[in-house]
Structure formats: structure tokens, C-alpha cells
Structure 1
């Protein structure tokens, strides 16, 4: 079990995942959850913190508190995305973003799509230093990715458990998707809704896929990546039909992917060099691609070759 939890991964994968996660935190502040800043104008009596917010001595949101979290967290997340000072910046981003989420979810609505992201933020500072393109393998980085993967799959499995616990099979045979389409459906959803019983089949399918999601850990790498691709296609269909985005969850789910193969900076350098007509630069991946020198003596000029 310990070997599975700490399965070694390339440091380049950890570095790429770290950059992606922290860049999303910065984007989340200004794109996905900027509405959290409006909580500063809500009367303090309406603030009903989550259990963790009641256990910890956290302040009631005020304009000063919310603004301070936003303006400190934003540059720290961008700095953390560079993989510098991974522990200092990582723990700082975790503390501030965790408080940002407590403020966001303490007014009556709790989103379950951020579990994997929060676990990633808690685990990444323990992974140590990692450089993009570094093929050296690390157990600490493997652990950080593995616990994030477990959180991602728990998001699916526990969602199915909640559906069965509170709704039973009526969730699958009811009008859950129909109500969602009425509230926020797209034109594509309207076309799908016209097919008899298709929404009922889809609800049974959602339950089945969520309950079977832990199978992803039992598959060989090729099929595991295919199953993760199915997860992404499911969320693409969700956005296309009922406009519900699971962006934080999708970022955390990249922990399953071989991110070390994605080298946008190297690709950009190659593209620029090709346009200038020069030779492509050597990728900074820690592995030299230079041609080794000849070991034998060079033939004399003008000598005949037998």
C-alpha cells in the first residue's frame, strides 16, 4: 500500500502540476469566484461558517479582511506557479485560499468540486523542489499526486453515495436532469430532452459511472488515461448541456496525466527559432541530446579510404 501511495513520478510532472494548480488559483480569484468579494458587504449576522470555520478562530468577513486575502493571495499564487520556495509559498497559498473558500461556502451553498484542488494545495508543499522537464523520479511528488487522485475519485464516488442516501433510486428515475435543463439548459439540452427516456438513461449512467470511478486505479496506464479522458468528456457534456462547470475538479484531475510531456515554453522557443530559420534549441529537460564526439583519429586530408 505504501509503495502504491508513493509511486515515483518524474519531477517534471510535479512541476507542471504545481504550475497549473497555482495558476488556476490566481484565475479563480478573478474569473470563477470574484463574487466572494461581495461577501464583504453582507451583514455579519448572515455569516454561518462551516464546521472548520467554527472550530478555528477565523474572523467574520469584512471589507478589510476580504480585500487583504485577495490582494495577498493573487501575487503569492503567481509566484508559487514558478516552483520557487515551494514550501513557504505553498503553505501560504493553502492558508489564504482555504480561508477564501470558507468565506465563499459559509452563506448557504457548498460546492463539492473543490475537494481535489484543496487536497492538491495541501499536498504540493510536501513534494519539495521540482523543475520543469526534470526526468528524475520522486516519491514525495508521487505521494502528492496520488492523494490528489484519491480526492478526485472520492468526489465522484461520494457524490453517488449522497444521491443514493438522500434520494434513493428516485434520483435516477426522477426529473433531476429535466429540472436542470429547465433552469439553465442550452439549445443542445433542449434537443436531447425531446428524446423519450433519454434523460432517465443518462441519470442511471451518471450513477453507474460515479460508483465505478474507483476502478480507474486498477487499470493499466493506457486504459487509465482512456477512463480519465471519459471523465473529461462527461464534464464537457455537462457544460454543453446544463452549463455547470467543474473547473477546479478538472484541474485537480490533471494529476492523472503525464504533464511532463507538455512543454509550452520549449514548443514556443522551437517555433520562434524555426521562423527565424535557425536550428531548434535543445529542450531543457535535463537530458543532453548532443552528438558525442568521434573517438577515432580523424583521417588525413587527401588520404585514400580503403
Structure 2
């Protein structure tokens, strides 16, 4: 019998493949997915009512509908007013039922699956219509990915103690979509301006502040070097955003806080928010700790110190 030999290159490929697979499918708590699902579905309701709420008004001007590439591939027609209202009712109802099914053990896990896929399809149709009238908001990229991958995890509840590779994959997809929101924006600046330095040395911030700047930032117009420095800083963090995917612990939390603080500053300065992306930054956080903390914080305790309803030793 001859011994099977392994070439160095074959061993290296297996190690690299294992590392890549492990990175994509890192087992993560199902409870984390459950909390993230509740957060995402609650925000989707807010989003379609107050942020991306232009689908029903679009129904009055169907002739202006110019679908994006995916809309053309799927042959999605304009919804019309009645279609917009019907889709809104289905979407909001599916989100609410999905939250109830996730948080209540009395509801069958199948309801999670049905509502999850309903939210995914309905929200994508809603957003493809919203983006089909000459304006594409890239702040919704991560949210659209999140609703699409969450149903693939299956049943998950806030106090599940199990981990799942499917949970890891879904959260990783959302994380990558969050990062691509910034990295893609940097490349867009590069392409439109001809080079990164052309954009960073331009007057983009001056134009934005003159157009919609608040009293907090209008004074910076007297100091153009501050605005140019800010443009270089923005471009740098956008190009470096993929680094977040490999951070852990306090460095990861610091990065998440930095990006969220940037969006808060942008909102205070210009009235521009990125709430759909900000919500999806939660995919980087240990959300499974939140239900445990809430139960410990708000569960009534008996006089002896044990939780109400728990037998004492």
C-alpha cells in the first residue's frame, strides 16, 4: 500500500479555505439574530411610514417610473396608489407578526418563517419602487440585505442558548453590506471626481453647508481648511471601512461608535441621517446580552432575593 502524500500547496489551500469558511460561517448565538430581527422589523415599519414613504405618492405619477436594473430584470410594474396601500398593509402586518412570533414562545416557529419571507419580498418590492423614480438612496443597502438573509436562519428566539452557522452567515452578510455602503461611496467619489484627491480637495462640504447647513457648522465656511480636512477624513474612513470586519472587542465597539457618531454629527450639521445603515451596525454587537440584562433588570424579585416564580433551594 502506498501512503497518500499531501503537497504543501494542497495543505495551504485547505487552510485558506477553512479560514475563509470559518470567517463566513462563524457560529453565532441564535439569540443575537432574534434581537436583531426584532430591531430590523421594528425599524422597517418606521422606515416605510416616515423615511422611504414615497411609494404611495409615486402611484399618482406612474409615467415617471424608470426602474433600476433589478426592477427591469424582474419586470416590476409601477404599483399604483391602491397597490402601494396594499403592499404597505402587508408589510407592516408581517413586521408586527414577525416581532410577536420572535418574542413569544406561544407562537409557532413557522410564523417566523412565513413573516420573514413576506417581509423580505414585500420590502424589496417597496424599495425597488421607491428607487425607481430617479433617486437611489444607498443608505438602504444594508437594511435590504438584512431582511433578505434573516429568514434563512430559521427559528430564533431572544433566550436561545444555541449557536448556529446560519446565524453567523446572515449577520456576516449584513456586516459586509454595511461596510460596502461606505466603501462603495468612496469609489463613487473617486469615479465622479476623477481621483480621490480631486474630491477631497474640492468644495463639496462648502456646497452642502451653504445649501442646508445648521447654525452649528455655518461658521466653518470662514475656514475652508477645516472643511478640506474633514473631506480627507471622510474619504479615509470610507476607504478603511473594511477593517471593521476584522476587529474584535473594544476596538470593534469603538469603530461602531465612531461611524454612528459621524452620522449623528452629519444629522446635526446638515439634517441628513443614515438611520437604515445605523440600525444595521447592530449586526456587529453582542445583542444576545440585551434580553438577559432586561430580564435581570425588570423581573420582580421575591423578598428572599430570588426571582418571582422561581422555587427557592
Q: TM-score range by the shorter chain?
A: 0.7 to 0.9
TM-score normalised by structure 1 residue count: 0.86
Q: Give the distance between the partners of 1:107 and 1:17, measured in 2 at CA.
A: 30
Q: Give the distance between the partners of 2:177 and 2:311, measured in 1 at CA.
A: 42
Question: Cα deviations across residues 113-166 of structure 1 (Å, max 9, x unaligned)?
Answer: 111111111110011111112232111111100011011111111110110111
**Structural mapping, 1:256-271, within 5 Å:** 256-263=284-291, 266=295, 269-270=298-299
Q: Give the distance between the partners of 1:234 and 1:59, measured in 2 at CA.
A: 37
Q: Are residue 11 (structure 1) and residue 30 (structure 2) matched?
A: yes
User: Aligned to 1:112, which of 138, 141, 165?
Assistant: 138
C-alpha RMSD of matched pairs (Å): 2.2
User: Aligned to 1:45, which of 49, 60, 63?
Assistant: 63
Is the CA contact 2:143–2:276 (under 8 Å) kept in the aligned structure 1?
yes
Match of 1:176 in 2: 204
Q: Are residue 69 (structure 1) and residue 91 (structure 2) matched?
A: no
Match of 1:224 in 2: 252
Q: Which stretch of structure 1 is more off in the superposition, 13-22 or 261-270?
A: 261-270
Match of 2:152 in 1: 126
Q: Give the distance between the partners of 1:80 and 1:119, measured in 2 at CA.
A: 17
CA change 1:282–1:138 in 2 (3 A) is farther
Q: Give the distance between the partners of 1:164 and 1:281, measured in 2 at CA.
A: 58
Q: Are residue 135 (structure 1) and residue 135 (structure 2) matched?
A: no
Q: Give the distance between the partners of 1:229 and 1:15, measured in 2 at CA.
A: 22
Is the CA contact 2:142–2:280 (under 8 Å) kept in the aligned structure 1?
yes
Match of 2:242 in 1: 214
Unaligned runs of 5+ in 2: 1-19, 103-108
Unaligned runs of 5+ in 1: 284-288, 294-306
1:64 shift after superposition? 1.4
Q: Give the distance between the partners of 2:294 and 2:306, measured in 1 at CA.
A: 13
**Structural mapping, 1:136-175, within 5 Å:** 136-167=162-193, 168=195, 169-175=197-203
Q: Which stretch of structure 1 is more off in the superposition, 187-196 or 90-99?
A: 187-196
CA change 1:183–1:267 in 2 (3 A) is farther
Match of 2:222 in 1: 194
User: Aligned to 1:21, which of 16, 40, 51?
Assistant: 40
CA change 1:39–1:268 in 2 (3 A) is farther
1:175 shift after superposition? 1.0
TM-score normalised by structure 2 residue count: 0.84
- Greater Rg by CA: 1
The 3-state SS of whatever aligns with 2:138 is: coil
Is the CA contact 1:269–1:281 (under 8 Å) kept in the aligned structure 2?
no
CA change 1:55–1:290 in 2 (3 A) is same
Normalized per residue, which structure has more helix?
2
Q: Give the distance between the partners of 1:117 and 1:98, measured in 2 at CA.
A: 10
User: Aligned pairs, how many?
Assistant: 283
1:224 shift after superposition? 1.4
